Structure 1
Amino acid sequence: MKFLNILTLILVIVGGLNWGLVGLFGFDLVAAIFGAGSGLARVVYVLVGLSAAWQVIPLFSAMGSGEFAARQNQ
Structure 2
Amino acid sequence: MISLRNLVLALIIIGAINWGLVGFFRYDLISSILGQNLELVTRTIFALVGLCGLYAITFFRPHRQ
TM bracket, shorter-chain basis: 0.7 to 0.9
Aligned-partner residue type, residue 18 of structure 2: N
Q: Where do residues 52-63 of structure 1 align in structure 2 (5 Å cutoff)? A: 52-60=53-61
TM-score (norm 2): 0.86
Gaps of 5+ in 1: 66-74
Q: Which runs of 4+ in 1 moved over 2 A?
A: none
Structure 1 equivalent of residue 14 of structure 2: 14
Cα separation, 2, equivalents of 1:41 and 1:13: 16
Deviations 1:18-39 (A, max 9, x none): 0000011000001111234700
Q: How many residues get paired?
A: 62
TM-score (norm 1): 0.77
Gaps of 5+ in 2: none
Structure possessing the higher relative contact order (Cα contacts under 8 Å, 6 or more residues apart): 2
**Which structure has the larger Rg?**
1
Cα separation, 2, equivalents of 1:14 and 1:8: 10
